[in-house]
Amino acid sequence: MTNPILSPWDTPFEIAPFDAISDADFAPALDAALAAHDAEIKAIAEDSRPADFANTVEALEAAGEALDKVLSVFFTVAGADSNPERQELQRAFSPKLAAHFSAISSNKALFARVAEVWEKRDALDLTEEQARVLMLTHRGFVRSGAALTGAADQRMQEIMGRLAELGTAFTQNLLADESGWFMPLTEADLEGLPGFVVNAARAAGEEKGQEGPVVTLSRSLITPFLQFSPRRDLREQAFKAWAARGANGGETDNREIAAEILKLREERAKLLGYESFADYKLETQMAGTPEKVRELLMAVWGPAKRQAEADAEVLTEMMREDGINDDLAPWDWRYYAEKRRKAEHDLDEAEVKPYLQLDRMIEASFACANRLFGLEFKPLDVPLYHPDCRAWEVTRGGKHVAVFIGDYFARGSKRSGAWCSAMRSQAKFPKEQGPVVINVCNFAKGDPALLSYDDARTLFHEFGHALHQMLSDVTYESISGTSVARDFVELPSQLYEHWLEVPEVLAEFATHAETGAAMPKEMLDKVLGAANFDMGFQTVEYVASALVDLAFHEGAAPADVLAMQAEVLEGLGMPAAITMRHASPHFAHVFSGDGYSSGYYSYMWSEVMDADAFEAFEEAGNAFDAETAKALEAHILSTGGSVEAADLYKRFRGRLPGVEALLKGRGLAA
Ligand SMILES: [Zn+2]
């Protein structure tokens, strides 16, 4: 019997034939695709001809077509529409895939051929893009340790194995501390809490097998509890437990684990020839060096701290009015900030929502893409993996550009959050292929479906990622679309959020579900004002975490992570009533894996760029300025990873971004 995943896809635009695929097809398709890829890799590694760009680098680009198909279909449904069978498959696939890719990156014969091409690169007459792909391919092998031999090679493998164990232990300890603690509440303790917090506390009590309501350390319960509970003693207890996650002593304590992780990362970086782990990590990023990261963070730190200190005075005054003469503490901040928010920006979400209909907001995101880039969207009737999914053909001047799929509604089978992925990336080699791009969100269903302002921003954000994929115009798939540095990838998405704030966009598309009236100006102003509320606090807790992350990975690894954390915070003059967003013993971004280690800064790096990039349109006097839109597409949205990110930005803007636009956007400018 033929496997529908591996057979040619005889569908419109070769979209995966979801109606023909069943869960039983995945495992045999994956095994066949892995075997095919292994054979391709073997043939490239054992080729007896002298290595050249075509028989080595291009051959690697072309390899794995079947594997791409299997993984794109499987991970689409595993994330957006899972079931017990798919979860089981995912558990079985993940070690198989890890072993497969690690065997490729440590294949010495293959690396020898890549290195041979790299050595003679100047004589090869490569295009700019080919030279870039060669550099990235070679660098990827070197960074994973392929060039190491003998004892160094052996040691690297030990380090990687141990780091994987430590990362898992860190995560599990954190989960154990989070689920192990709860604080029972009496009926009287519930006073002053809004209905949704009371309900969540009761549900949590039931889940923990308690008679009455409880507070747990789940972010979705503890945060509103700290925000709304008038009981200072209970807030203090809950906050202290929250802040102590991973540092409670005993078996689940993460402090030693974090210290060992940092030591092994330092050793790993040195084995590969880098001064520090931060140097190693930042080499592939737009920021490039630890100094550049620190420069950005410190430029934001001063204004953020000033704002937070001014806010602390206001909040302390409010606390005095409650008859409390103590210093403002971390367990007071959210409570008094919430009171202040209510007084200054009272915004009733229930009044805003009828103006933000999902279908109108989708139209708005399409209309902006039409005005900026001339894209047109036509509904496409194809079988997808769930009846809630919708598809459009995207064209420009009558020519096919991409297929766009939207899967907007929350359901039990979907993981939380929102994301964009390419089921097929744009490429011209080995053959021309148009992108198939999907946005997945978790909006509540309704008739009509209505969004919060945050939801609408998420919709524009994910659509910005989709544009980065759809407008991609490169030759090689490995650098297509969003295959760019981590600190650059959020630029197109965060930038696109700005068009939601353009008054004429909301005036046209934010229309009331029943009356059809446009959102009143006062409501719009309130929505935008509330978005920037308490930015001093938010910026301080974030930047402090990012600076501690950076300090951990520069220079010698600390023997005591909390001591080093305290030293960094003291040097910064951290405001007493604010703590790090993630203290080291529960800083999962940094210790659960190495994805965001010395990389926590990257959210802010992208924000600096999106604020500065949108200013290019403001300077042109028009949010839809044709010349600026053309430059944005030419230098950022179509180029993928074909050029160094900093160069792309300079081509678009004529210079690198400054922090001024970000400070203004966050309301922190002097
Ligand atoms: Zn994003």
pLDDT given for residue 347 in this prediction: 79
- List the one residue out of 539, 546, 501 whose CA is nearest residue 663: 539
Map tokens 């291009």 to a residue. Answer: 58
Q: How far is the CA of 462 from the centre of ligand 1 (A)?
A: 6
Q: How far is the CA of 555 from the centre of ligand 1 (A)?
A: 31
Catalytic sites, residue numbers: 462
Kindly state the DSSP code that residue 534 receives in the 8-state scheme.
T
d(CA 340, CA 344): 6
Q: How many residues does the chain have?
A: 670
Assign residue 323 a region: left if phi > 0, alpha if psi is -120 to 50, beta otherwise?
Answer: left
pLDDT given for residue 218 in this prediction: 86
Q: How far is the CA of 493 from the centre of ligand 1 (A)?
A: 6
Residues in contact with 385: Cβ distance below 8 Å, sequence separation at least 6, in sequence order: 18, 76, 77, 80, 81
Number of H helices, E strands in the chain: 27, 7
Question: Which of the four pLDDT bands, split at 50, 70 and 90, describes residue 530?
Answer: confident
pTM (whole model) above 0.75: yes
For residue 214, the one-letter residue type is: V
Q: Could you read off the pLDDT of 168-224 as tens digits, one per residue? A: 999 999 999 998 999 999 999 999 999 989 999 999 999 999 999 999 998 889 999
Question: Which of the four pLDDT bands, split at 50, 70 and 90, describes residue 73?
Answer: very high
d(CA 367, CA 519): 18
Q: How far is the CA of 373 from the centre of ligand 1 (A)?
A: 20
pLDDT at 670 > cutoff 80: no
Q: How far is the CA of 418 from the centre of ligand 1 (A)?
A: 8
pLDDT given for residue 1 in this prediction: 63
Q: Could you tell me the CA-to-CA distances from 624 to 363, 366, 618, 661 in Å, in that order?
A: 16, 13, 9, 19
| Total Cβ atoms within 10 A of residue 31 | 12
pLDDT at 525 > cutoff 90: no
Contact (CB, 8 A) for 299 and 662 = no
Contact (CB, 8 A) for 571 and 257 = no
Kindly state the DSSP code that residue 433 receives in the 8-state scheme.
B
pLDDT at 232 > cutoff 80: yes
Residues in contact with 333: Cβ distance below 8 Å, sequence separation at least 6, in sequence order: 312, 315, 537, 577, 578
Q: Which helix (H) or strand (E) holds 240?
A: helix 232-243
Contact (CB, 8 A) for 471 and 635 = no
